[in-house]
């Protein structure tokens, strides 16, 4: 069996806000077309890690990043077209951020940013992404209304559609389900399982069971340290490598 | 179980005293009155100004159509008194228009720079300096217009006089820029950072974020900023009185002198004897000004509502 192809390689990544280091030298790889779960208590650096990936961390004025992150072999700290990198990585934030635009414009935002203006193409992208995010049937008759007027769960699916609109190769979901009801969550989880055939998914979640349901491999991150990274099966088994993992996964600690 | 909980509450918490309830009602009354007082003041001002203006409608020399649309303003003529304010209205509007052409792009640009591009230290100092600019008294601005600006205009354009429409417009622009900047900066600051981050994560460039996310979401605040700037420019008196040249005429170009409604009232009210037609007609000019500013505000309100409905 050939070793799986790496799409993201992270080496000795450290991140500090001011003098406080929040990620202490983590090293791991993410393989192509896997669902990579990241679990861990709050304040352990999960969101910060994602922000390093698409370099939106650059806009936090007191953040210092060291170590290397390679996406498809290219060191992102030296990358020239930062916007292309961000389009390659779709990002879904924990609380839905509907831009104050219509539903259609929300999804068409990224394609338009790269200069796609033909109505037919945009229509096609909007329809495809909204269908992928399981939102199309609910909004197809009112694409012109404000995205912020949708319900919380619909807005979250809108942000997922938006993250898919620039055809990312990597989709990062940061606790996407905290604002959505369980039924919709399950629908989106089904969508994610389908998407796995085409793209790599990084799933940050506080719901350990969600990682268990979806992820191929899971990393347990705690206070900025990678405690354990293994196949999801092993992480959630009765005897993972570290006792701390067992305690967190089973709700004894954390 | 619940009964015991209730009884412990009753025992430990003191009863509200009559005095504290009365104080609360009194405070509510005071706040209610302060709210309503705004309406009373506006109506009272309108009433008293209108009362001073009313007798002019019964004068033989007055004709409302001529008052609004005639350009001849000879209020003290012995033989043929004419009260046409069109040149004054046009003067006010043209000076304001010119000022806004200059001040709106500069003000918005500067607000965008302060809120999105410059570093924290630069931001602080710029904001302080802009507030200082807003604190300069209007008579000082008039003085600058009359001396510094007028000389610059004469030497640059070769105009016969330096106090003219251009001068007034520039001075008014300088006066309204600080207001436009500080209010639009507040409006941009009020746009949640999550919008910026979301757009950023979608691969948008700084400019795309500004014109496709920030400006649309801050549009109400930005419009309010522009309208307050217009309000300041229309209502400004002393600076335009000193900088525009004070000649009653329809200007043919930016280098012609003009007179505004406000400057006209300020300059002539002291000379008009109380109770004369001239005196009354100046009050009517005041009402005209009132109506113009009211129309501006109303349009703004309607525009904002229109935007919201979309």
- Residue A49 makes CB contacts below 8 A (sequence gap 6+) with A13, A15, A23, A26, A38, A204, A221
Strand ranges (E), chain A: 6-17, 20-31, 35-39, 63-71, 74-75, 89-92, 170-174, 200-204, 217-222, 225-231
A131 belongs to a structural domain = yes
Alpha-carbon gap: B302 to the closest alpha carbon of chain A (Å): 20
**Average pLDDT, stretch B137-150?**
94
Decide if A93 touches B, using CB distance below 8 A.
yes
Q: Which helix (H) or strand (E) holds B200?
A: helix B193-201
A185 belongs to a structural domain = yes
Tokens of A86: 């961000």
- Decide if pLDDT at B100 tops 90: yes
pLDDT tens digits, one per residue of B53-66 = 999 999 888 889 99
B199 chain-A contacts, CB cut-off 8 A = 99, 109
d(CA B302, CA B70): 30
d(CA A248, CA A227): 11
pLDDT category of residue B84 using cuts at 50, 70 and 90: very high
pLDDT category of residue B283 using cuts at 50, 70 and 90: very high
A254 belongs to a structural domain = no
**Average pLDDT, stretch A161-180?**
88
Decide if A106 touches B, using CB distance below 8 A.
no
Residues B83 and B280: beta-carbon distance below 8 Å: no
Containing structural domain, residue A133: 6-249
Q: Tell me the HSE value of A65 on the side-chain side, using a 13 A CA sphere.
A: 24
Tokens of A155: 């807005």
Asked if A109's CB is within 8 angstroms of B200's CB, the reply is no
**Average pLDDT, stretch A190-219?**
89
d(CA A200, CA A212): 17
pLDDT tens digits, one per residue of B160-214 = 889 999 999 999 999 999 999 999 999 999 998 888 888 888 888 889 899 888 9
Spell out which chain B residues touch chain A, with contact meaning CB-CB distance below 8 angstroms.
120, 192, 194-205, 208, 212-213, 216-217
Which pLDDT belongs to residue B142?
94
CA B241 to chain CA centroid, nearest Å: 17
Angle at B48 between CA B47 and CA B50, to 5 degrees: 65
Residue B244 CA: distances (Å) to CA of B12, B29, B120: 73, 48, 39
Tokens of A98: 């509907």
User: How does the average pLDDT of chain B come out, rounded?
Assistant: 89
CATH number at residue A244: 3.40.50.300
Residue A184 CA: distances (Å) to CA of A92, A197, B300: 16, 21, 42
Percent of residues in chain B assigned helix, strand, coil, to nearest 5: 75, 0, 20
Which pLDDT belongs to residue B55?
92
Tokens of B89: 């209205």
Decide if A136 touches B, using CB distance below 8 A.
no
Asked if A97's CB is within 8 angstroms of B197's CB, the reply is yes
- Better pLDDT: A101 or B150: B150
- Decide if pLDDT at B141 tops 80: yes
**Average pLDDT, stretch A7-18?**
91
- Better pLDDT: A147 or B185: B185
**Average pLDDT, stretch B40-44?**
93
User: How does the average pLDDT of chain A come out, rounded?
Assistant: 87
pLDDT tens digits, one per residue of B108-134 = 999 999 999 988 899 999 999 999 999
Which pLDDT belongs to residue B1?
46
A1 belongs to a structural domain = no
In chain B, where the domains are located = 12-58, 73-309
Residue B95 CA: distances (Å) to CA of A49, B91, B250: 55, 6, 12
What is the total count of domains within chain A? 1
- Decide if pLDDT at A4 tops 50: yes
State the pairing for strand pair A63-71/A20-31. unpaired
CATH match of B73-309 with 3.40.190.10? no
A39 belongs to a structural domain = yes
């Amino acid at each position: 069996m050939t070793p799986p192809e790496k799409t993201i390689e992270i080496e000795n990544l450290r991140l500090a806000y001011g003098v406080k280091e929040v990620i202490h030298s983590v090293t791991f790889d993410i393989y192509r077309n896997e669902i990579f779960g990241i679990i861990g208590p709050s304040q352990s650096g999960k969101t910060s890690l994602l922000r390093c990936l698409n370099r939106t961390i650059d806009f936090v004025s007191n953040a210092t990043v060291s170590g290397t992150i390679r996406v498809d072999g290219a060191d992102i700290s030296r990358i020239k077209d930062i916007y292309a990198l961000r389009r390659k990585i779709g990002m879904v934030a924990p609380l839905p951020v509907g831009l104050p635009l219509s539903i259609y414009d929300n999804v068409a935002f990224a394609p338009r940013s790269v200069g796609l203006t033909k109505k037919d193409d945009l229509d096609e992208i909007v329809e495809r992404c909204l269908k992928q995010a399981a939102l199309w049937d609910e909004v197809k008759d009112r694409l012109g209304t404000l995205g912020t007027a949708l319900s919380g769960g619909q807005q979250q699916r809108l942000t997922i559609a938006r993250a898919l609109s620039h055809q990312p190769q990597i989709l990062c979901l940061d606790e996407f389900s905290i604002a959505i009801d369980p039924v919709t969550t399950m629908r989106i989880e089904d969508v994610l399982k389908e998407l796995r055939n085409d793209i790599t998914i990084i799933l940050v979640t506080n719901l350990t069971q969600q990682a268990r349901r979806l992820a191929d491999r899971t990393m347990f991150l705690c206070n900025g340290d990678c405690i354990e990274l293994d196949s999801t099966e092993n992480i959630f088994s009765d005897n993972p490598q570290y006792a701390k993992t067992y305690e967190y996964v089973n709700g004894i600690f954390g | 179980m619940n009964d015991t909980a209730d009884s412990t509450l009753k025992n430990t918490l003191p009863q509200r005293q009559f005095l504290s309830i009365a104080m609360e009602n009194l405070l509510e009354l005071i706040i209610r009155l302060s709210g309503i007082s705004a309406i009373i003041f506006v109506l009272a001002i309108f009433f008293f100004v209108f009362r001073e203006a009313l007798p002019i409608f019964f004068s033989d020399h007055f004709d409302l159509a001529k008052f609004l649309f005639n350009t001849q303003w000879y209020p003290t003529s012995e033989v043929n008194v004419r009260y046409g304010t069109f040149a004054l209205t046009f003067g006010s509007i043209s000076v304001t228009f010119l000022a806004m052409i200059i001040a709106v792009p500069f003000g918005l640009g500067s607000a965008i720079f302060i809120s999105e591009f410059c570093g924290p230290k630069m931001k602080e100092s710029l904001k302080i300096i802009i507030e200082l600019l807003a604190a300069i008294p209007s008579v000082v601005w008039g003085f600058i217009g009359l001396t510094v600006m007028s000389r610059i205009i004469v030497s640059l354009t070769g105009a016969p006089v330096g106090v003219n429409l251009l001068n007034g417009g520039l001075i008014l622009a300088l006066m309204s820029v600080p207001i436009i900047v500080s209010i639009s900066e507040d409006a941009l600051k009020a746009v949640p950072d999550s919008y910026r981050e979301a757009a950023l994560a979608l691969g948008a460039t700084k400019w795309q974020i500004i014109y496709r996310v920030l400006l649309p979401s801050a549009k109400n605040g930005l419009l309010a900023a522009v309208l307050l700037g217009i309000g300041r420019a229309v209502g400004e008196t002393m600076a335009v009185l000193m900088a525009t040249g004070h000649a009653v005429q329809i200007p043919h170009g930016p280098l012609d002198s003009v007179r505004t409604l406000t400057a006209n009232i300020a300059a002539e009210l002291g000379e008009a004897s109380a109770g004369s037609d001239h005196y009354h007609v100046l009050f009517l000019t005041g009402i005209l000004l009132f109506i113009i500013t009211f129309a501006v505000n109303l349009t703004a309100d309607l525009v904002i509502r229109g935007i919201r409905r979309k």
